[in-house]
Amino acid sequence: MKEKGRKAIATNRKARHNYTILDTYEAGVALVGTEVKALREGKASLVDAFATIDDGEVWLRGLHIPEYGGGTWTNHAPRRTRKLLLHRREIDSLVGKIRDGNQTLVPLSMYFNDGRVKVELALAKGKQEHDKRADIARRTAEREIVREIGRRVKGIRG
């Protein structure tokens, strides 16, 4: 029986800290059998993963899916390059955007969508150190504002 809905496998939490996200895409992933079984166990790491476009095809590199415990000699290589499945017009637009500026493709998350493995891919621009500090300061200020509003609503002075 097919699963319904979206079930998270792995997320790349540092991606939003290290990159400014410009646009996101949903891509399918071409996998072999033991990779899917390992993913169903919830084992994957997007920490060092990135995507490249070679000869009009999008490839996911650095994704770590550990070997399946119940597998035999048919097990997959944990860090092999995997093909991402996107529409031709999406690939063509990505090629143009990446060629124009210093932008890269970063996987944000990996999940099951109705039983199929999908990757949320982001067109991103790297942040400088001062941009990261400014984002942290902005988030801290917003958090303080929300706290102060909550205190005033409750009538607490402080």
pLDDT of residue 16: 84
- Going by C-alpha positions, the residue among 38, 31, 39 that lies closest to residue 10 is 39
Two structure tokens written together for 45: 């790491």
Q: Which amino acid is at 12?
A: N
CA distance 103 to 93: 13
CA distance 13 to 69: 26
Digitized pLDDT (tens) for each residue of the chain, 158 residues in all: 455 778 888 888 888 888 888 999 999 999 877 888 888 887 788 888 888 898 889 999 988 888 877 766 777 767 888 899 999 999 998 888 888 778 889 999 999 998 888 999 999 888 888 878 888 899 999 999 999 888 888 887 65
pLDDT of residue 71: 67
- Going by C-alpha positions, the residue among 103, 101, 68, 61 that lies closest to residue 84 is 61
pLDDT of residue 158: 59
Two structure tokens written together for 34: 């033991």
pLDDT of residue 121: 92
DSSP string, 57-84: EEEEES-B-PPPTT--TTPPPTT--EEE
